[in-house]
Structure 1
Amino acid sequence: MITLTLLHPVQLTPVQHWTFDESTIVRVGRSTDNQVVLYSAVVSRYHAELRRVNSSWELVSLGANGTYFEGKRISQLPVRDGMIFRLARSGPNLQIHLDRSDTLNMKRTLESVRVPALNLPFNDAEEDKKTQPLLKMQTIVTDSKTTMDTSAGRPSEEWIRKQDDSVIGNYYSIELLSQGKVGMTYLGQRSGETVLLKTLNPTWINHPQALSLFERQAKMLKQLNHPGLPRWRDFFRIDGQPFLVTEMIEGKTLDQHILDHGKVDLKQAIAWMIEVCEILDYLHTQSPPVLHQDIRPQNLIHRAHSTSSYELALVDFGSVRGLDLDETAAAYLAPEQKNGQATYLSDLYAIGTTLAFLISAQQPRLFYRQWRQDYRFSPDLIPGLLPELIEVLYQLTEPNPSDRYQSAREVATALRSLI
């Protein structure tokens, strides 16, 4: 006998389990003909299989987004009792139990159902409120008589919503994607679209400046319309907690691109930065000018699909995150911005440090040196750069804003001259 247990995305407590007594193959994926059906944007139609081989089991990855064990992507792995694997980097966690005694140690036991039910709640409601206030957990009872709309071979959205255990407002299938010191981002779904829901961490909800900056950012984003920016979808509050909803852009951040492939060819890196200049030109010519305030590789996504004329998308405006910057992020920023006096020229500075990272695959903080009474970014420390490129990078990262290029268009012209 083998039992699969779906774990809560944050607390890793049991949510639902499926038990198979005599099966030799157990398939997991988004398609309704799998034995274990999970509706998630990152889960493939057929994502993984558990195969019985003689007296043991093995886990086989099938999905395009990969299957992970202990943070490492696997293709095939022997199964051991109690192991936890993950579908995609940010997808559902599943735990494997190989005999009945293990399942008796759970807080509660849910009988496996033969309909493709999803995420049946399996939590202590009071404890959940304390540790995860953003998720509204719904208690649902289902049995073999459960019915659903199977037109087009899949459940209706209404049916899925009723089966879902994690809902924020009108959005369901909520999964925590990332959590920083100030904010957190969730994946969610509505009307067949996967979206991002961004909010403040619970400890910052009552911080007047953070709340004001977050709401101002949401209002500003609603007015923007550019193919290099994610599209605004919604803004709402739940018990005073603000949520900003935007489209989800599939792809890798340039930071991840460097980790996977190493430094970028100069011509490609410049072409990408020219795209960023065009996006910034749009933002800076708004009335009043819109500042991004967090230009860096982690906030530039190389699109997986050609849904725009731009290869890159600029995400995550930094007005709120600027309240609590770490050392790595701060190395991309202009001196005046670190002192709380950002202008549109601060965004131009960050193009220089970002370009340096792309062509060197090294963090900008390695290229600062003593300058007068302070430190300044020094591109001549980067090995192998042409003098013309060093000159452009120096002007982009001048400590005095008035000594920099004075517009994104001017920066784009200087970059084009290099290729």
Structure 2
Amino acid sequence: MIRQGEILNNTYQILDELGSGGGGIIYRARHLRLNIDVVVKQVKDEAKGVQSVISEADVLKRLHHTYLPRVYDFLEIDGEIYTVMDFIAGMDLRKAVQTNGYYPQDLVLNWARQLAEALSYLHSSEPPIIHGDIKPANIMLQPDGSICLIDFNVSLVFDENKRKLTSISEGFSPPEQYRNKMMYDKMTGNTQSRVNAGNLTQNVFTDNSGRSYTDVSTIDEETSQILERTVGRGIDERSDIYSLGATLYYVLTGVKPSSHYWENPPITQYDIKLSEGFSHIILKMMALDPDERYQNGMELKAAFDNIYELDSVYRSYRHRNSVRTFLTTLLFLGGVGLCVAGGITMKRETDIDYVDELLVADQEISEGNYDDAEIIIKEAMRKRPKRVEAYVSETKRLYMTEDYDGVIDYGMAAINGPRFDVKTEEDQKSSGDIVFLMGNAYYEMEEYSDAVSCFKSAIERNKDNGDYFRDYAAALAKEGNLEDALKCLESAKKMGLGKDSIYMIEAEVSYIKGDYSKAAEDFTKAMEYTKDPIIRRRSVSFLSDCYNRLDDYTSQIQFLEKYITQPDASKSSVLYLATAYFNAKQFDKAAEMFKKSIDSGDIQFETRINLSTCYNEMGQLDMAENILLETAKDYPERYETYRNLAFLEGQKQMKLPNEQRNYYTMNDYYEKAKILYQESGAQDNDMSVLEKDIQRAKDGKWIN
């Protein structure tokens, strides 16, 4: 063991001991010439005696990869062997999961791609470098959000015979990493390798997060046979694949895999959002039989590069749209038919994949599979980072998730960056779609002036799109500019729009004129004809409003109850339905919908107030009070909360006999409401009513 302050090779000053890794003791040291922190790792005794270690170490020194630490030196001092590598700042994934819980697919998939690249790099070296101890504790999440795979076992570079002498990380090491069957049974406490074989039983368990999964508690014959022939054979590239798969399993579920491999529920049994492709890759990585896994990092990287092809929706959609894809391909390849050079052939193939991916992404968006769509869009961007179409798809995806702030922020960054090239007229027109979607986001947020500006900008980029004029007219109407709105709608009608847009235009004209019955009829027809998600969403909003203005809550409720079961139903529709129930005085159903809206991320003040009112109307005063007290914490500047608390307290006191009443709490709420009300500058009749109630309490000597 080396001491704190000791200087190795006149270069590395030991600062402190960090711990013990899979290959030996680890120290943090200072590189005195470069003035940076490094890691000095003392290699365990079992790795000593390797012939020509210094010359062989040149393999490690040549390593240079974004997701691996740099190896600075390989030292032999007084019979001890040390490696010197980068000190990687950040938090390892074991601590990250323990601190934050399991992580969502979008983050983990990005890390998985990075780690697959690192393994591909290591496994393609000559000789192949086997990490030998991949686990969450050996993967650092750096401050910039990227991943670094640390602490690979250097002895595995030099001597294949050492591949049976590696350390074991329970839950993350594959069966072949155990030296022999006796060691496996002893370390895992396994007593049923041949017990009850073929007697597979399943039990349902619940993890710490409340998610249920199925546990296979008894080994089956096939698993037993795989263990018999696999344990003790020694590790190779496929062992790294298993360990990384187990690590991803842990990070995605928060559940550490068991070394009783038959007890690990497939990741598909967990209640987490995971694409079909990602699930398939992890299942293959964690196959017990090494022959059934990806055979090396290169194969794993290829799987992640083409992850979307593993989704059944992609395969079926590609088959259904083969003719459409062929025609699209012809458009891309027109004019280059005589070019057969390898580089141009590659570009053709990439363009075909790029278009196919965006077609699939659009299908996923239409079916409400927004996470899957995001993966595919990112893959398309990776292939063609300067093409505008993928940025349009991502803006549309954000719009359909109702992340309207996200639409605006993303759209502004994409347009103003710019993140894409605008080389042709078609590029310019496509960029108009991004601005158009930004306009719709502003529209949904009821910021109509900004919506008008965006629609106007979109029209400047593409004067041939009738949808732009249609929605421009709607925003103008919302601003009160009815004359220009009608002119704009007339322009849109002349542009050869489909039936859905025509019905929508007719509906908007009727709406502007105040003929809500006719507007409702035409919005209904627009929804029947259209497959455009924006038309559907806009029609739902207007149609619900039309029924509301007509006081036809029965029709409004029937329509919305049916709509919210659709795959593309918006979050807003839940709130529309809650309001319809509220207006119809169906307070129990209204409360259920308001709560559902809040649970799905609705943080609006009005939603909380309405939920409290529902409980009040149902006589559940304590529930109403709890909602208001929570609302007061989140919206301390809103007088309405304290106003309602004062009224609620008054109701509670009215239920008591005169001699038991105490209106001091009500008065405290009133005083807080009065101060905030005066600061707000609002005009509110209820505050006058409340003031009179307080005065009556004072007159009755319940308040001094």
State the partner residue of 1:167: 7
2:80 is the alignment partner of 1:241 = yes
CA distance in 2, matches of 1:211, 1:366: 31
1:409 matched residue in structure 2: 301
- Kindly report which structure 2 residues correspond to 1:15-54, keeping only aligned pairs within 5 A, or say none: none
* Map of 2:28 onto structure 1: 187
**Secondary structure of 1:365's aligned partner:** coil
Indicate the SS of the match to 1:212: coil
Deviation at 1:184, TM superposition (A): 0.6
- Of the candidates 129, 150, 160, which is equivalent to residue 315 of structure 1? 150
Match of 1:341 among 208, 215, 234: 234
1:32 alignment counterpart: none
Q: Structure 2: any 5+ residue segments left out of the alignment?
A: 157-163, 179-231, 310-371, 376-704
Separation in 1 of the partners of 2:256 and 2:244?
Answer: 14
- Distance in 1 (CA, whole Å) between partners of 2:51 and 2:129 is 13
String of CA shifts for 1:28-74, please: whole Å, max 9, x gaps: xxxxxxxxxxxxxxxxxxxxxxxxxxxxxxxxxxxxxxxxxxxxxxx
Deviation at 1:383, TM superposition (A): 3.9
Does the 8 Å contact 2:105/2:274 carry over to 1? no
Q: Name the SS of the counterpart of 1:330 in structure 2.
A: coil
Correspondence for 1:232? 71
Q: Provide closer, same or farther for how the CA distance between residues 401 and 324 of structure 1 changes in structure 2, counting only shifts above 3 A.
A: closer
Deviation sequence 1:375-394 (CA, Å, 0-9, x none): x7743453446582443322
- Distance in 2 between the 1:291 and 1:213 partners? 19
State the secondary structure of the residue aligned to 1:316.
coil
**1:288–1:416: structure 2 CA closer, same or farther, 3 Å change rule?**
farther
Please list, as runs of the form range in 1=range in 2, the aligned pairs for 1:372-391 lying within 5 A after superposition.
Answer: 378-384=266-272, 386=274, 388=276, 389-391=278-280
- Counterpart contact for 2:23–2:167, Cα < 8 Å: no
The change in CA–CA distance for 1:343 and 1:384 in structure 2 (over 3 A counts) is same
Q: Per-residue deviation at 1:301? A: 0.8
Tell me the alpha carbon deviations over residues 183-221 of structure 1, each in whole angstroms, 9 at most, x when there is no partner: 1111111121111111035xx3xx4x4553994884431
Match of 1:399 among 288, 296, 305: 288
Structure 2 counterparts to residues 355-374 of structure 1, below 5 A: 355-365=248-258, 368-369=261-262
Cα distance change, pair 344–213 in 1 and its aligned pair in 2 (3 A): farther
Q: Normalized against structure 2, the TM-score is what?
A: 0.32
Q: 1:221 to 1:211 in 2, by over 3 A?
A: same
| CA 1:169–1:255: 2 relative to 1, 3 Å | same
Q: Which residue of 2 aligns with 1:325?
A: 167
Normalising by the residue count of structure 1, what TM-score does the alignment of the two structures yield?
0.51
Alpha-carbon distance between aligned partners in 2 of 1:225 and 1:345, rounded to the nearest angstrom = 22
Structure-to-structure mapping, 1:47-126, within 5 angstroms: none
Name the counterpart of 2:94. Answer: 255
Asked whether the 8 Å contact 2:69–2:86 carries over to 1, the reply is: yes
Matches within 5 A, 1:283-294: 283-294=122-133
Distance 2:23 2:259 in 1: 26
Alpha-carbon displacement from aligned partner over 1:271-315 (angstroms, at most 9, x marks no partner): 1011111111111222222221222211111112x5xxx811111
The whole-number CA distance in structure 2 between the counterparts of 1:361 and 1:332 is: 14
**Maintained 8 Å contact 1:367/1:379:** no
Deviations 1:107-150 (A, max 9, x none): xxxxxxxxxxxxxxxxxxxxxxxxxx423x8xxxxxxxxxxxxx
In the alignment of these two chains, the number of paired residues is 243
2 CA distance for matches of 1:383 and 1:290? 36
Q: Say whether residues 1:134 and 2:2 are aligned partners.
A: yes
Deviations 1:156-202 (A, max 9, x none): xxxxxxxxx4333322253111135861111111121111111035x
Q: CA deviation at 1:256?
A: 1.4
1:270 to 69, 93, 109: 109
Assess if the C-alpha contact under 8 Å between 1:332 and 1:353 holds in 2: yes
Question: CA shift at 1:367, angstroms?
Answer: 8.0
Across the aligned residues of Structure 1 and Structure 2, the Cα RMSD in angstroms comes to: 3.1
- What is residue 197 of structure 1 aligned with on the other side? 40
Change (3 A) 1:295 1:180: closer
Kept in 2, the 8 Å contact 1:167–1:173? The answer is: yes
Contact 2:39 2:84 in 1 (8 A): yes
Q: Is the 8 A contact 1:367 1:377 kept in 2?
A: no
- The 3-state SS of whatever aligns with 1:270 is helix
Partner of 1:177: 18
| Helix, strand or coil at the partner of 1:184 | strand
Gaps of 5+ in 1: 1-132, 138-164, 371-375
SS of corresponding position for 2:69: coil
1:341–1:331 distance in 2 versus 1, CA, 3 Å: same
| Alpha-carbon distance between aligned partners in 2 of 1:233 and 1:182, rounded to the nearest angstrom | 17
- In structure 2, what is the Cα distance between the partners aligned to 1:260 and 1:320? 33
**Contact in 1 for aligned 2:23/2:153 (Cα 8 Å):** no
Separation in 1, partners of 2:237, 2:271: 29
Structure number having the greater strand percentage: 1
Query: What amino acid is aligned across from residue 194 of structure 1 in structure 2?
Result: D
Letter in structure 1 aligned against 2:165: L
Is the contact made by 1:377 and 1:397 (CA closer than 8 Å) also made in structure 2?
Answer: no
2:270 is matched by which residue type in structure 1? I
Distance 2:77 2:2 in 1: 9
Query: 1:314 & 1:169 partners in 2: Cα distance?
Result: 26
Q: Tell me which amino acid in the other structure corresponds to 2:15.
A: I
